[in-house]
Structure 1
């Protein structure tokens, strides 16, 4: 249970950083290639990633989350 609580907190903190500055160095945000070439990924600890896209929503730039999981799960 402690691991899950830590994971939830880590996801919340990362999403908060992502919403303020998607290219904050701590996130290690990078553009993806191949089938995911329109997407970006950021790190959520050692082996977890958040894959997302920049989209327009109500005439503003927004972040659309595509997946959260281990490196192997999201790529």
Structure 2
């Protein structure tokens, strides 16, 4: 499985507090091993081809899954669902 990061994801990630960035890195290692690990609470977003997994209760990462390729497209709070 190959993982890519969109420019939007990278911009949003840089704006997060350092403690959230560090927590993302921990969750990212779990995600690399198994994107559907139960501790990530991965779920499909309604009406789209996007998925999300939780970093914290409020912060989540959105990704697209295409075969063996994953593209992380955004990270942030619930407001990222409205940004297309």
TM-score tier (shorter): 0.7 to 0.9
**Aligned pairs, number:** 67
Please list the CA deviations of residues 8-52 of structure 1 after superposition, one character each: whole Å capped at 9, or x if unmatched: 211111111111101101000001112xx1010000111001000
The structure carrying a bigger strand percent of its residues is 1
Runs of 4+ aligned structure 1 residues displaced above 3 Å come to none
Deviation at 1:53, TM superposition (A): 0.8
Q: Which structure has the larger Rg? A: 1
The gaps in structure 1 that reach 5 residues or longer are none
TM-score by structure 2 length?
0.70
TM-score by structure 1 length?
0.78
Tell me how large the CA RMSD over aligned residues is.
1.7
The gaps in structure 2 that reach 5 residues or longer are 1-15
| Correspondence for 2:51 among 27, 35, 40 | 40
